[in-house]
């Protein structure tokens, strides 16, 4: 390996833990992203008089009912994804992580996803799963961005690689038959991510992960987007349909278009 000590240390951490949490260097892009959300939220909920971004987002449960949450979330994420420069800013906040963990010729998910989880709301749960169980390429990685401080049940959990290998053996031995059994088996081994606003997570989506009912007093806001190296296998989610190349290099462009003389 020709990587420097910093790159090797970060890579080893990703391989060992299945994730890396890091402070965001591109603060300008992060501030812009959260500002976009706050502006859209206040447009849909004009009764909010808060001015501080963290108060607007953390307290949104005071202004919306659970029954209206999904429509509210879809309206917001559709507006966000319609902003031309949004995905570029999302990439910028995590570029240094992606360069080391994934590579520098990258395909990015066409649409960034959003999770809003109100306190005590059981309608926004993501049961334990690994994306690869449903046809996702193991070469993909996820950039998970909190727009507020996310901790304890206001965050997400992940099962580390070594414990995932144990889980695979249980599957093979047919000792696990349904989703609830999985969570009960792995609960004691889960790592709950404590991620502050201003930090970003890159995690291996082939590892079991999910969330539970938010028992904290604040609303969770987090975004996620998948990235992969352009020339790795795609499985069910194809380039052009789900992914878009964003950093294709000149030599690759030349190679793709090259034809031998006849």
Sorted by sequence, the CB contacts under 8 Å of residue 199 that are 6+ apart come out as 21, 22, 23, 24, 146
pLDDT of residue 179: 57
Domain ranges of the chain: 5-257
Q: Which residue has the tokens 């144990």?
A: 166
pLDDT of residue 180: 61
Which pTM was predicted? 0.93
Mean pLDDT over 132-158 rounds to 96
Which bin fits 174, alpha (ψ -120 to 50), beta or left (φ > 0)?
left
Asked whether the predicted pLDDT for residue 90 surpasses 90, the reply is yes
Task: State whether residue 148 is helix, strand or coil.
Answer: coil
CATH class, range 5-257: mainly beta
Number of neighbouring beta carbons within 10 Å of residue 78: 12
Q: Are 221 and 37 in contact (CB under 8 A)?
A: yes
pLDDT of residue 112: 97
pLDDT of residue 182: 84
Number of neighbouring beta carbons within 10 Å of residue 135: 9
pLDDT of residue 127: 87
pLDDT in tens, 156-215: 999 999 999 888 777 666 666 555 678 888 999 999 999 999 999 999 999 999 999 999
pLDDT of residue 176: 63
pLDDT of residue 183: 85
Backbone angles phi, psi at 217, to 5 degrees: -95, 5
Sorted by sequence, the CB contacts under 8 Å of residue 51 that are 6+ apart come out as none
Q: Are 175 and 142 in contact (CB under 8 A)?
A: no
- Give the span between the Cα atoms of 200 and 215, in whole angstroms: 22
Mean pLDDT over 102-111 rounds to 96
């Amino acid at each position: 390996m020709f990587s420097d000590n910093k790159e090797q240390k970060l890579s080893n951490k990703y391989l060992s833990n299945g994730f890396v949490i890091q402070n965001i260097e591109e603060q300008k892009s992060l501030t812009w992203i959260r500002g976009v959300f706050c502006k859209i939220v206040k447009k849909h909920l004009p009764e909010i008089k808060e001015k501080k971004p963290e108060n607007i987002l953390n307290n949104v449960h005071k202004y919306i009912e659970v029954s209206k949450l999904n429509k509210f979330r879809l309206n917001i994420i559709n507006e966000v994804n319609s902003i031309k420069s949004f995905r570029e800013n999302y990439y910028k906040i995590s570029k240094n992580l992606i360069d080391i963990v994934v590579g520098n010729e990258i395909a990015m998910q066409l649409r960034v996803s959003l999770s809003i989880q109100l306190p005590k709301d059981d309608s926004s749960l993501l049961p334990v799963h690994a994306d690869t169980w449903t046809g996702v390429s193991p070469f993909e990685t996820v950039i998970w961005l909190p727009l507020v401080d996310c901790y304890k049940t206001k965050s997400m959990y992940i099962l580390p690689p070594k414990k995932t290998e144990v889980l695979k053996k249980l599957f093979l031995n047919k000792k696990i038959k349904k989703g609830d059994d999985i969570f009960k088996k792995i609960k004691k081994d889960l790592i709950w991510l404590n991620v502050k606003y201003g930090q970003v997570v890159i995690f291996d989506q082939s590892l079991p992960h999910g969330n539970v009912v938010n028992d904290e007093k604040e609303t969770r806001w987090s975004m996620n987007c998948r990235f992969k190296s352009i020339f790795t296998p795609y499985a069910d989610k194809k380039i052009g349909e789900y992914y878009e190349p964003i950093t294709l290099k000149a030599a690759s462009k030349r190679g793709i278009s090259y034809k031998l003389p006849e």
